[in-house]
Amino acid sequence: MIDFAAARRMMVDGQVRTYDVTDLRVLAAMLEVPRERFVPEEERAIAYSDGDLTVLKSKVGRPARRLLKPAVLARLIQAAEVEASDRVLDVGCATGYSAAVLAKLAGSVVALEEDPGLAATARQTLASVGAANVSVITGPLAAGVPTQAPFNVILLDGATEIAPKNLFGQLANDGRLVCVVGAAPLGKATIYRSASGHVTGQSLFDAAASVLPGFAKPAEFLF
């Protein structure tokens, strides 16, 4: 029998803290949320491994979906400086783990997922862990949720190869959008800040993640 509580502590102490995550609220949230509940049963033994974790295998016309590496997720959330009164949009929530962590920090979380199966899993699992301030919405990731904007924080739960301009307009004034820009293995964790209608980006640290559906660079044609 795996001691998941011990594994969670080891993840926070050995992976997250050592990756320059010092925000005590973020560390506490990572310690509280049972990551093993958000992965397929056959993957639970490696739920706290130091890497992205596959929660939906690829098939024709559908890319694989993965949970972000815990340390990368924690550091992105730390950079976003989520406050207790913030409204947060979690883009590409997959099974809902990131939304559960954000729910410990924010006033409310909108978790967006375009795969119906993943969205259903997210709803069920989030309810089971008591994340009552999270609502799961099914829809195209790149479109965001304009009907519920503006958001103080937007998190992309994966990488984008293009500037997520569709989402910039859904940021509140002084809003922050955090994501990984660039396809694996070369990517940069980036924060975009909105101020008086202008959005500026700043690279934060090297990171790698799978590109989310709808955020791939358009194919180039050579003549």
pLDDT at 219 > cutoff 90: no
Tokens encoding 89: 């949009």
Query: Could you write out the DSSP letters of every residue in 119-150?
Result: HHHHHHHHHHTT-TTEEEEES-GGG--GGG--
Q: At residue 181, what is the residue type?
A: V
Q: What is the pLDDT of residue 165?
A: 93
What tens digit of pLDDT does each residue of 108-162 get? 999 999 999 999 999 999 999 999 999 999 999 999 999 999 999 999 999 999 9
The reply to whether CATH 2.60.40.10 applies to domain 4-206 is no
Mean pLDDT score of the chain, rounded to an integer? 95
Burial track 34-66 (b if 16+ CB lie within 10 A, e otherwise): bbbbbbeeeebeebbeeebbbbbeeeeeeeebb
Q: What angle do CA 22, 47, 27 make, to 5 degrees?
A: 15
Q: CB–CB of 209/69 below 8 Å?
A: yes
Q: What is the pLDDT of residue 160?
A: 97
Domain boundaries, the chain: 4-206
Tokens encoding 15: 């992976």
pLDDT at 222 > cutoff 60: no
- Closest to 125 (Cα-Cα) out of 155, 91, 145, 99: 99
pLDDT at 183 > cutoff 90: no
Q: What is the pLDDT of residue 185?
A: 80
More confident residue, 60 or 56: 56
More confident residue, 185 or 65: 65
CA dihedral 5, 7, 8, 13 (to 10 degrees): 130
Q: What is the pLDDT of residue 58?
A: 85
